[in-house]
Structure 1
Amino acid sequence: MRLSHAFIPTLKETPAEAQITSHRLMLRAGLVRQTSAGIYAWLPLGLRVLRNIERIVREEQDNAGAQEILMPTIQPAELWKESGRYEDYGKEMLRIRDRHERDMLYGPTNEEMVTDLFRQSVKSYRELPQILYHIQWKFRDEVRPRFGVMRGREFLMKDAYSFDLDHAGAVMSYRKMMLAYMRTFQRMGLKAIPMEADTGPIGGDLSHEFIILAPTGESQVYYDAAFEEIDYLSGGAGGFSHDKPEDLERFFKQMTSHYAATDEKHDAARWDSVAADRRREGRGIEVGHIFYFGTKYTKPMNAAIAGPDGKLVHPEMGSYGIGVSRLVGAVIEASHDDNGIIWPDSVAPFKAAILNLKPGDAACDGLCERLYAAFGGNALYDDRSDRAGAKFADADLMGHPWQIVVGPRGAAAGTVELKRRATGERVEVTPEEALARIG
């Protein structure tokens, strides 16, 4: 993408409504624009980040054996009346009546709809287990939307739902999803800690929220250093497999045997039992939640299948959510400096920014065009006639992992300056070496 023709409306000043770092930087870097309270339009740069995060989430769900579907945003109220949640959900639900006077709603979540799809199609225990997921826009009418995409009214979410014959099977699905989540966050360059969460009136002991560490996080967190030492992506010795029950059990024991808690559930006595050199504290942001709820929906909605003995049984369910659009803000909260965003390579909108310091100079133009072509559309080429300082400032603000700086002196000598955004390191290399380092 050539910056001279790109729709990336950067801002020098911070808008007054932006209260937290991610909101300020997303507006200033031209990622989003607010269209109404808590609702945002995603501009080209922001959409590329959103799609990269969505891709990683999708790949890890697929790797765990989940199957992707796509449920509609508008749902019939009858399904929610069956489950008993229609009146209980409250004013956060946007209720709609269509031209035929049928009660509808803009979905805040999808337990009822996926249970209805399941009961229409699955008849026997032989068809279990099933894990179905989708990545879809949700709407919750927050009374005071704030913090940009971190707490908006419309948001993109991955939600998955598992169906198993019994509790043992449901636990296995739960562990698969927990492993998939830890891999997802690690691939995004994030430190994530699974923390036991309240299960509410349903009871049980299977509910975890996933907190990523960020200096400006909303919660104080306490955790054992062991969470920083586990490689969830490793497939070798010590790694974990979704397909091996013994691996999943070993993984789950590691996750639950080490201390981790938000300030709301912090236990000072247990914390004192953690070795002093293993204690870690920080701020955190919730980006995911997994939950086992048994037959809460299958029973009232009569989603029954034939069990091994031929008798009807209500499958055990779990739900698993990741805030995809919220993660864009959370990554920025975890990775930025005074100059702007610092994108991890895996989610960055472009691999690199190419900065032409003297457009119109034949050597600079030729070298920049050659580099731009080599990236195959995965670089942002700053071909504007602006002064060099403005180009450096915008590149830092947008947070591209690499900057390739092309000036007349270096172009004449066949070299470029390569800058790593995360560290600030600058080296003079040949164009070929720059391309090889960036990969």
Structure 2
Amino acid sequence: MRLSRFFLPVLKETPSDAQIVSHQLMLRAGMIRQQSAGIYSWLPLGLKVLKKVEQIVREEQNRAGAVELLMPTIQSADLWRESGRYDDYGAEMLRITDRHERDMLFGPTNEEMITEIFRSYCRSYKDLPKLLYHIQWKFRDEIRPRFGVMRGREFLMKDTYSFDLDEEAARRSYNKMFIAYLNTFSRMGLKAVPMKADTGPIGGDLSHEFIVLAETGESEVFCHADLVDMGAPGTDIDFDGDLQPLVDQRTALYAATDEMHEPDVFARVPEDRRLTARGIEVGHIFYFGTKYSDPMKALVTHPDGKERAVHMGSYGVGVSRLLGAIIEAHHDEKGCIWPEEVAPFGVGILNLRAGDGEADAACEDAYGKLTAAGLDPLYDDTSERPGGKFATADLIGLPYQLVIGPRGLKEGKVELKVRRTGETHELSPEDAVNRLAERAFADG
């Protein structure tokens, strides 16, 4: 993409109403624009990152055996009355009435709708287990939306729902999502710690939040420090095997949000391994048994011929919220530092003197070769001064910058900068392009 054709409305000043780094940088980098309280338009740069985050979430759900579908954003209130949640959910639910005076709502979550879909088609134990998910925009009317996409009213969410014959089978589904989440966040450059959590309005008696430690986190968290450094299980996991030991490895160590914190238990953790911090929730998983299947009559026939309610779980990832979490974990005073898997472009090409024949030719050559190599480069072909180009490149946080100008070309050199470390390398144009291309192929 040529920057002269792209839409990138960067801001030089930090908006006064943006309180945390991720909100500030998303506005300054031209990723989002606020349309009303807690509601944002996703501008091209932000949308590119959002799509990459969404795809990683999708790939890891598919790897775990979940099947994707798509449910509508507008739901009938009658389904929520069946489950008993319509009056209980509270003011966060946006209730609306259609032209025929039917009660409807903008879905904050989809337990009722997926249960209605399941019960319409699945009647026997032979239809189980089922893991179904979708990635969809939701709305919760937060009383105080703040921190940009971290606590907005409209947000993109991945929610998965499991249907199993009994509690033992349901816990196997729970473990699949537990492991899938660890891999998902790791691929985005995040260390997410699973913590015992309150089930809230979703219900049930087993729940974990996945928390990224950050000073701006909305929750106080308490955990064993070893959990922070524990690596992801890896993408070669056999999801049909026994995952319980991997789950136990993490849940055996103390970790809890402030709502579930037990000071007496935490005190048993060795003093030098106790960690108290702030954290950002990026995922939440629940097992809630027959909370919805009982009142909504989602029954299946068991091998003994008797009908019983299926056991269910739900598993959410805040896809749009993840962008804020990634920035909070990966930034410096100059701007964003995107991990390669979620970067909007693989490399920025900076032409320091657009209009100079030699510089233009070298940039065009690099642009063509890097595009062919799959790096999806952003070519700054504008007439902006070099200082402005460097500032924009640092602000939007692409992993690499290829800097090309007449002075360096006279010596047969270009500059390759690594955004994360700030290190620079003077290379021939051919070597720089080859290094970048080889890096792209190595990263898949």
1:201 to partner: Cα distance? 8.4
**Counterpart selection for 1:290 from 268, 272, 285:** 285
3-state secondary structure, aligned to 2:415: strand
1:258 matched to 2:253: yes
User: 1:397 maps to which residue?
Assistant: 395
- TM-score normalised to structure 1 length: 0.95
Of the structure 1 ranges 181-190 and 267-276, higher mean CA displacement relative to structure 2 is found in 267-276
Q: Distance in 2 between matches of 1:223 and 1:402?
A: 35
Aligned pairs for 1:410-429 (under 5 A) are 410-429=408-427
The letter of the residue matching 2:290 is T
Q: Distance in 1 between matches of 2:186 and 2:272?
A: 24
Structure 1 segments unaligned to the other structure (5+ residues): none
User: 1:224 maps to which residue?
Assistant: 224
Q: Is the 8 A contact 2:282 2:322 kept in 1?
A: yes
Change (3 A) 1:255 1:2: same
1:306 matched to 2:304: no
Q: Is the 8 A contact 1:353 1:395 kept in 2?
A: yes
User: 1:213 maps to which residue?
Assistant: 213
User: 2:25 maps to which residue?
Assistant: 25
Q: How many residues align?
A: 434
Q: Distance in 2 between matches of 1:287 and 1:203?
A: 19
Q: Distance in 2 between matches of 1:14 and 1:350?
A: 23
Change (3 A) 1:420 1:233: farther
User: 1:101 maps to which residue?
Assistant: 101
User: 1:431 maps to which residue?
Assistant: 429
Aligned pairs for 1:4-403 (under 5 A) are 4-200=4-200, 205-234=205-234, 240-245=237-242, 248-376=243-371, 378-403=376-401
- TM-score normalised to structure 2 length: 0.94
3-state secondary structure, aligned to 2:348: strand
1:253 to partner: Cα distance? 0.7
Q: Distance in 2 between matches of 1:385 and 1:146?
A: 37
Summarize deviations over 1:349-377 as a string: whole Å, max 9, x none: 01111111111111211111111122327
Of the structure 1 ranges 276-285 and 351-360, higher mean CA displacement relative to structure 2 is found in 276-285
Q: Is the 8 A contact 2:348 2:393 kept in 1?
A: yes
Summarize deviations over 1:224-250 as a string: whole Å, max 9, x none: 2332443324367xxx431102xx111
1:279 to partner: Cα distance? 3.8
The letter of the residue matching 2:403 is V
1:5 to partner: Cα distance? 2.0
The letter of the residue matching 1:131 is L
The letter of the residue matching 2:238 is S
1:386 to partner: Cα distance? 1.0
3-state secondary structure, aligned to 1:310: coil
3-state secondary structure, aligned to 1:35: strand
Structure 2 segments unaligned to the other structure (5+ residues): none
Q: Distance in 2 between matches of 1:219 and 1:425?
A: 35
The letter of the residue matching 1:360 is G
3-state secondary structure, aligned to 1:3: coil
Q: Distance in 2 between matches of 1:214 and 1:371?
A: 38
Matched-pair identity in %: 62
**Over aligned residue pairs, what C-alpha RMSD do you find?**
1.8
Q: Is the 8 A contact 1:217 1:333 kept in 2?
A: no
